[in-house]
Amino acid sequence: MSTKTAEEVVRMIFRSPSPMIKIEFQGGEPLLNWEVVKHIIEYAEKLNRIASKYLEFVLCTNLTLVTEDILAYLRLHKVRISTSLDGPKPLHDLHRIKRDGNSSYDDFLRNLPLVRSVVGQDACSPLLTITRDHLPRLRSVIDEYLDKGFSGIFLRAINPYGIAKTEWTTLGYPIEDFVSAYKDAFAYILEINKSGHRFIEFYASLLLNRILTPFSTGFVDLQSPSGAGISGVIYDYNGDVFPTDESRMLARSGDLSFYLGNVHSSNYEDIFGGMRLREITRQTCLEVLPGCATCFYQLYCGSDPIRNYAESGDIIGHRPSSDFCKKNMQLFDFLFDILRANDKKTLDVFWSWITNRDIKDVSL
Amino acid sequence: MKQARGVANGFSEHIIGIVSRSRFRLPFHGTSVFVTNSSSLKCSGHMAAVSSAEIPTKYVLGRAPNITSVPCEYIEDLHNGDILSLNPDGRVTKLWDLRSRHNVIFVTNLCDCRCLACPQPNAPDPKDIFAQNKWTLKHVPRGSTSPITFTGGEPTLKEKELSTLLEICKKRVCSVPVFLLTNGRRLSNFEFAKRIADINIPNLTFCVSIYGDVDEIHDYCVGAKGAFQETVRGLHNLARLNKQVELRIVIIRNNYRRLLQIAEFIYRNFPFVLHVAFMGMESTGKAWENIKEVWVDPVEYMSQLHAAIQHLHHRNLNTSIYNLPFCLLPRQLWPFSRDSISDWKKILLPICSPCVLREKCPGFFTTSQIQSSYIHPISDSDLRI
């Protein structure tokens, strides 16, 4: 991304009526274009002196290129770090080899203490990509997260986009396999929590938050109407605007169905008030989607239009063959079974996740 | 407010003044009342005198207005700076207690609800109630840290008076916690709620009472159709105005089965509240008249109360139990118990004398005419279990 595009993007971001703005740097590897990242942060802070919104930054990086100077800068500008950790070394390096053929796990391990000492213990949170190789080994992945002192793990199934789609036969799996591996991992996580060590499974925590509280989660992937384009938006390196990262990937492979415009040539009203985004929003209200309209989990669920499009050719989608639907239905069944059992210790754990308190502070 | 009765001499209008234990009025101390145990009412500069001594009328004639033969304990409990009201019928009332944490301003006796369990039934206001309240607040020492509670009746029925009193409060003792006890009905009018909120006392909490999670129960308990809707709207207006809100649930026979549902209703609809208090009832006034209908022994509702407290505690909402002694609560609920009964109407019972928790116990209302039949002293060995 060039400096000129970056400034256009930031100006576009600040046209948003939202009082809260979170700018997340993704890639590729954003640290390969560090000067522009810095420019965006400083330009956004400058605009915010007048806009006075609640402004946040997140940098998604594999940590291979972080230096003490970069970290000091991130700390100064209160930028949070999102990274990847796919488990213990053999599992992590299995699908994350550096261009030079070396282990990226070693870089991660070397730089993590540096990140923590400069930015803070909780400054960095990792995401896990679960491939076919991970399914039977989730417990060892959880052990790795515990061992490195992380407060929880997000167990999410791999999405069939980009390289993951072309390599589906080696990386992918039937969603039923994911659900049974999830249940086993979840039982393990509950055991850890019940022994007194608070360790969150973030997806369950999101769903429980939706089921048990009056608050919204801000989780864009599970909203009705879909959060695509209205709660989150993607600006590509050249200024192209997409409702989600998946639609940007679709555009890479030649399908421009979700292209909303470009910051250089389109204005705010055309991008965010245009027919394309209106259509996406209009057609992703669960109340009117076939299958969802009569589903008892409607209140807690959301829709994923781009995923639907990728799977069935339109954004409404086909529930009986949707993996998104299958996965969420089974996870809701699973969580409701646990809630129905009404075990006091389990509920203490759940509420400690939801309200962000120690387990001992939650129980009577 | 603590009251006593004596023999009034030499005045026909109600008098209000600051207690002085000295015969000589100090300069700049405002209107003062000499308080003594002595039979000599000789004093200088005071506008009235109160004594525990029995003094034949012929000796007090010609002296400053006075009330004699007030019980000795009552006199012992009056200190320099307390505010006293003297009534020509012989009643002495302590309007402000410098040492107390429970000072109360009764804004009015009028109310727009007819609660089944009301300990303090609706009555016409004495003509000088407003003047008396104003005088009291204006004479609270500037450094006072005692919280101030505005109650009634229903204080919001007297907007002009309430606003004036809150303004005085703001000017004189702006940092102390101020509580406004209300049924919240009037606050359903946003303009009204805004006028009260705009007085902007930094530490003001609206303590709103609610009896149920459905209009049927709430409206029945408060004896006013439509009250539930108004109170709910009032609560949302307070949230919109960014005010601090506490909810108070008095537990009676008519609502105890739904404590858990009430807790969930509060969490879902008023997650902004700072504090939820579940309260044991005070069985006097209307509550005593309706005792057959409203009385439930706390032991009978303990499982419901336990569930409701657990429910709110899980959800990180501050929760307290008011007016119930430790011996009626399961051990897990003790941390939620508060010393909530105003000191001037709190007592312990004879059965409590061997109890090891008597110092910390919320105790009982002196005014209550019926108590739980499960009250018992707690011994050291109970605590070891």
**What phi and psi values does residue B104 have, to the nearest 5 degrees?**
-130, 140
Q: Do A355 and B267 touch (CB under 8 A)?
A: no
A96: which residues sit within 8 A by CB, 6+ positions away? Answer: A62, A84, A86, A104, A105
Looking up residue A115, the CATH number of its domain turns out to be: 3.20.20.70
Name beta bridge partners: A25: A59
Q: What percent of chain B clears pLDDT 70, i.e. is strictly above it?
A: 98
Is A144 in contact with A150 (CB distance < 8 Å)? no
Residue of B nearest to A360 (CA): B314
Residue bearing the bigger pLDDT, A35 or B38: A35
Percentage of residues of chain A with pLDDT beyond 70: 100
Question: Residue A103 pLDDT more than 90?
Answer: no
Q: What is the CATH number of the domain that holds B136?
A: 3.20.20.70
Percent of chain A with pLDDT over 90: 84
Residue A105 covered by a domain: yes
Q: Which of A209, A353, A357, A364 to mutate to test the interface with B (most CBs of B within 10 A)?
A: A364
- Asked if residue B136 and residue B110 are part of one domain, the reply reads yes
Query: What does the pLDDT average to over A6-31?
Result: 94
The answer to whether residues A233 and A248 touch, using CB atoms and an 8 Å cutoff, is: no
Residue A224's pLDDT band (cuts 50, 70, 90): very high
Instruction: Provide the pairing of β-strand B244-250 with B275-279.
Output: parallel
A272 and chain B in contact, CB less than 8 A: no
Q: Which phi and psi angles does B260 have, rounded to 5°?
A: -65, -45
Q: How many domains does chain B have?
A: 2
Residue A158 belongs to domain spanning: 128-227+284-364
Q: Is A347 on the interface with B (CB under 8 A)?
A: yes
A202 and A135 within one domain: yes
Structural domain containing residue B210: 103-384
Chain B residues with CB under 8 Å of A215 CB are: 271
Give yes or no for a contact between A135 and A128, defined as CB atoms under 8 angstroms apart: no
B114 and B92 in a common domain: no
Same domain, B45 and B128: no
This complex has an ipTM of: 0.87
Same domain? For A1 and A108 the reply is yes
Inter-chain CB pairs, A–B, below 8 Å? 24
Residue A204 belongs to some domain of the structure: yes
Reported as a pLDDT band with limits 50, 70 and 90, residue B175 is confident
Give the pLDDT confidence of B260-283 residue by residue, as tens digits: 999 999 999 999 999 999 999 999
pLDDT for residue A155: 96
Same domain, B119 and B193: yes
For B95-113, what is each residue's pLDDT tens digit?
999 888 889 999 999 999 9
For Cα atoms B95, B100, B101, give the angle at the middle one, nearest 5 degrees: 110
Q: Which two tokens stand for residue B188?
A: 């359903």
Beta bridge partners of B50: B35, B67
Residues B80 and B193 in one domain: no
Yes or no: say if A234 and A244 are a contact pair by the CB < 8 Å rule: yes
Contact B315/A214, CB-based, under 8 Å? no
Give the model confidence (pLDDT) of B233-254 as tens digits. 999 999 999 999 999 999 999 9
Q: Are residue A117 and residue A30 in the same domain, yes or no?
A: yes
**Final residue of a structural domain among B96, B115, B146:** B96
User: Do B107 and B211 fall into the same domain?
Assistant: yes
Q: What CATH number is given to the structural domain containing B88?
A: 3.50.30.10
Q: Least CA distance to B318: which residue of chain A?
A: A362
Judge if A216 and A338 occupy the same domain: yes
Residue from the list A213, A215, A364 with its beta carbon closest to the beta carbon of B313: A364
Nearest to A347 among B267, B309, B314 (CB): B314
Q: Is residue A236 part of a domain?
A: no
Mean pLDDT of all residues in B194-202: 93
pLDDT value at residue B28? 60
Size of chain B in residues: 385
Domain end point (choices A126, A156, A176): A126
pLDDT given at position B282: 94
Picking from B264, B302, B316, B336 by the largest number of A CB atoms within 10 A of its own CB, the best residue to mutate is: B316
Q: State whether residue A364 sits within 8 Å of chain B by CB.
A: yes
Please indicate, yes or no, whether residues B218 and B295 belong to a single structural domain of this protein.
yes
Given B72, B96, B120, the domain boundary residue is B96
Phi, psi of B139 (to 5 degrees): -110, 10
Identify which of B309, B314, B333 has the shortest CB distance to residue A362: B314
Q: What is the Cα–Cα distance from A61 to A73, expressed in whole angstroms?
A: 15
Among the candidates A71, A106, A126, a domain finishes at A126
Claim to verify: residue B223 and residue B360 sit in the same structural domain: yes
**Cα three-residue angle A299-A301-A306, rounded to 5 degrees:** 140
Whether residue A112 is found in the same domain as residue A134: no
* Position A245 in a domain: no
> What residues in A contact B268, CB-CB < 8 Å?
214
Cα–Cα distance, B311 to B331 (Å, whole number):
17
Q: What is the pLDDT at residue B46?
A: 86
Residue A329 lies in a domain: yes
Residue A126, by phi and psi: left (phi above 0), alpha (psi -120 to 50) or beta? beta
- Sheet of A261-262, strands arranged across: A234-235, A240-242, A261-262
Q: Do A214 and B316 touch (CB under 8 A)?
A: no
pLDDT for B385 beyond 80: no
User: Are residues B53 and B166 located together in one domain of the fold?
Assistant: no
What is the tally of structural domains in chain A? Answer: 2
Contacts of A362 in chain B (CB under 8 A): 313-314
Joined tokens for residue B251: 């537990």
Do residue A357 and residue B316 have CB atoms under 8 angstroms apart? yes
Same domain (yes/no): A80, A205? no
Contact B7, B49 (CB under 8 A): no
Residue A257 covered by a domain: no
The pLDDT, as a whole number, for residue B30 is 67
Burial class of residue B364 (count of CB atoms within 10 Å of its CB; 0-12, 13-18, 19+): buried
Pair A96, A141 in one domain:
no
CA dist B258 and B376 (Å) reads 27
Residue B9 DSSP SS3: strand
Q: Does residue B85 share a domain with residue B126?
A: no
Tell whether B188 and B249 lie within a shared domain.
yes
Q: Do A211 and A288 belong together in one domain?
A: yes
* Chain-chain contact of B314 with A355 (C-beta, under 8 angstroms): yes
A122 and A151 share a domain? no
Q: What does pTM read for this prediction?
A: 0.89
Residue B289, min C-alpha distance to chain A (Å): 37
Domain boundary among A64, A94, A126: A126
CA distance A266 to chain B (A): 38
B96, B127, B151: which is the final residue of a domain?
B96
Any bridge partners for residue B206, and if so which?
A: B180, B245
Cross-chain Cβ contact B271/A215 below 8 Å: yes
Pick A355's closest partner by Cβ from B269, B309, B315: B315
DSSP one-letter string for B188-257: GSHHHHHHHHTT--TTEEEEEE---SSHHHHHHHHT-TTHHHHHHHHHHHHHHTT-EEEEEEE--TTTGG
Verify that B197 and B312 share a domain, yes or no.
Answer: yes
Examine the domain organization and report whether A159 and A92 are in the same domain. Answer: no
A122 and A136 housed in the same domain: no
- B315·A364 Cβ contact <8 A: no
Residues of B whose CB is below 8 A from A346: none
Checking phi first, is residue A101 left (phi over 0); if not, alpha (psi -120 to 50) or beta?
left
The verdict on A73 and A169 lying in the same domain is no
